[in-house]
Amino acid sequence: MPEAFDLKTFLSDLPHLPGVYRHIDAQGEVLYVGKARDLKRRVSSYFQKSGHGPRIEHMLARVARTEITVTRTEAEALILENNLIKRLKPRYNILFRDDKSYPYLHITAHEIPRIVYYRGSTHGPGRFFGPYPNSWAVRETIQILQKVFRLRTCEDSVYAHRTRPCLLYQIGRCSAPCVNLISPEDYRADVERAIRFLEGRASEVMDDIERRMTAAAERQDFEQAAVLRDQMRALAKVLQQQTMEQVGDDSVDVIAVEPAGGRVCVNLAMVRAGRHLGDKPLFPTQAQDESPEEVLSAFVAQHYADNPAPPVLVCSHALSDPDLPALLAEQHGHRIRVLTRPQGARRAWLEQAQRNARMALAQRLSESSAREARTRALAVELDLDTDDAALDALHIECFDISHTSGEATQASCVVYRHHAMQTSLYRRFNIAGIEPGDDYAAMRQALTRRYARVADGETEMPDVVLIDGGEGQVGVARQVFVELGLDVSRIVGVKKGDHRKVGLETLVFVDGRPPVALGVESAALMLVAQIRDEAHRFAITGMRARRAKARNVSRLEDIEGVGKQRRQNLLARFGGFSGVADASIDELRSVEGISEALAERIYHALR
């Protein structure tokens, strides 16, 4: 602890209240976020007790200060904790890095409702069913509803302009309400039956269809009876194809935690309305030293902070935090039971989830072994530390320059760490003030802007700085590093071989080491090529976007009467050039400073 932080006074002043605490290092980075029913007791335990796990011990060695936020209840602390974890991604928390929201099936609130694949907030109009573990499960359910209930999936713009039935009607997947081949009342009745099916009341729907088929036959309306017969057969086939045993309208999440090989898999299987929708494996970070109970609690707290919780959670282990179900119940407004010894179908679901977790983990370990082998091979070639912890932390940054005949020059910086490309850490540098086409000046500017922050102590230095180029580019990098007082041994150039043939690349250095020819079969070359190609791709896509933006702005500037202020007004009003190009004359006229004649001139110039 630094002298500026008086730990003894801080701990003595902590309140016996619920809240959230944050352990922070000397650079101001939040290392860990936790919640507590009693802040004084929980935070003090870190500094007054021994025997913490390796992860926590390593974290405590870096803590410079601790901050707290008091909340009214522990449930509020749970919500705040997970919001902070999601936003800050502290390196010592168990993290489930799954940025995608879970998908839903949406039945819209239209007069003629539509079934839609949906991601996002579920607070809008219509009915939302889910969440589903993956997009395939949603699309499979939509196909079922099309086959059995013949509900529309088309966009409103398509629906509103139909004059004859589409192909989906011809193949029996839609009842064509767009051209009144079914009355609105009958269509909405089919929608209600679909909703009952999604709610798990399939037998009730089947009985209803059978009654209507019998009544139609008695009326001698044999065409309608045949339609209902086909609908009943389709529904019966769907129910027979359900591979997992159903339990009425059961809604359950099944969560299996499986550790192996220093990694952990948390497999989430979803059962809604008695239908097993599939499962989704997740692989948390910072979980290798934690018990399955700790990992399970971390997952339950983080997952159900953003997603609805079913009334029953079937889990492979007990929760390390026994208060968590009550906190979630307070948050979601209904009781939540946690079962660790399920019976019947629920037991079968859990066993299946555990098997799937083991298979997913085995596949991930196999993939991880290949990635780690490439990292190790490169570390050997560069004479770097090759123990497991050092390899996992190996931080490589790679730079590339891209332009079109000197236009829209842009530099890219991509990052490789933890045996994978870290896209959230990528950076682009718009290059200005240089002679067009001067790649050396562009590289100098990008490196200076990136590593001046390292020299100022604002960010950490990578272990390796890859430069896509030979002696010339590497020489520029050396000059920048010398000027900034940085270690030039970190610089590694990737010199292309004769005729730029893949496999003939050579690694070049500036610290006196001889060049290294990796060879076409080298695992290290595979990694270098992957990182270099990613830097090239990232630079090209950025350059093209910048070039297109510049050319579009230029097209506006070339129109007589469109000066700087009017151009800014147009771009602000329509959200960019494409919006301006798509605008009508009347819409262009609505912009301040644009007359009818100028609106017509702009409209025709952009066509």
Domain coordinates in residue numbering, the chain:
7-88, 104-241, 252-363, 390-539, 558-605
**Cα 423–Cα 427–Cα 430 angle in degrees, nearest 5:** 145
Distance from C-alpha of 489 to C-alpha of 481, rounded to nearest angstrom:
10
User: In the CATH hierarchy, which top-level class contains the domain 558-605?
Assistant: mainly alpha
- Do the first three CATH levels of 252-363 and 390-539 match, i.e. the same topology? yes
Name beta bridge partners: 466: 398, 492
First and final C-alpha spacing in the chain: 66
> Looking at the domain that runs over 390-539, which CATH code has it been given?
3.30.420.340
Burial of 427 (C-beta count, 10 Å sphere; 0-12/13-18/19+)? middle
- Run means of pLDDT, 10 residues per run, the chain, 607 residues: 67 91 90 92 85 82 91 90 88 76 88 89 84 84 85 86 86 89 91 84 75 80 76 65 49 91 88 80 84 92 86 94 90 90 89 91 80 88 84 90 66 89 87 78 89 87 87 88 92 74 75 82 83 85 59 59 75 69 78 81 73
List b or e across 538-559, with b for residues whose CB sees 16 or more CB atoms inside 10 angstroms: bbbebbeebbeeeebeebbeeb
Burial of 264 (C-beta count, 10 Å sphere; 0-12/13-18/19+)? buried
Give residue 308's identity as a one-letter amino acid code.
Answer: P
pLDDT for the residue numbered 188: 92
pLDDT for the residue numbered 58: 84
Give me the DSSP letters along 378-439. Answer: HHHHTT---SHHHHHH--EEEEEEEEETTEEEEEEEEEEETTEE-GGG-EEEE--SS-TT-H
Name beta bridge partners: 127: 107
Q: Which residue has the tokens 């700085």?
A: 465
Q: Which of 573, 577, 568 is nearest to 546 (CA)?
A: 577
Q: Which residue has the tokens 């449930």?
A: 75
Q: Which residue has the tokens 């555990």?
A: 354
Q: Look at the domain 252-363 and name its fold.
A: Nucleotidyltransferase; domain 5 (3.30.420)
Global pTM reads 0.62
Q: Is the CATH code 3.10.20.30 the one for domain 7-88?
A: no
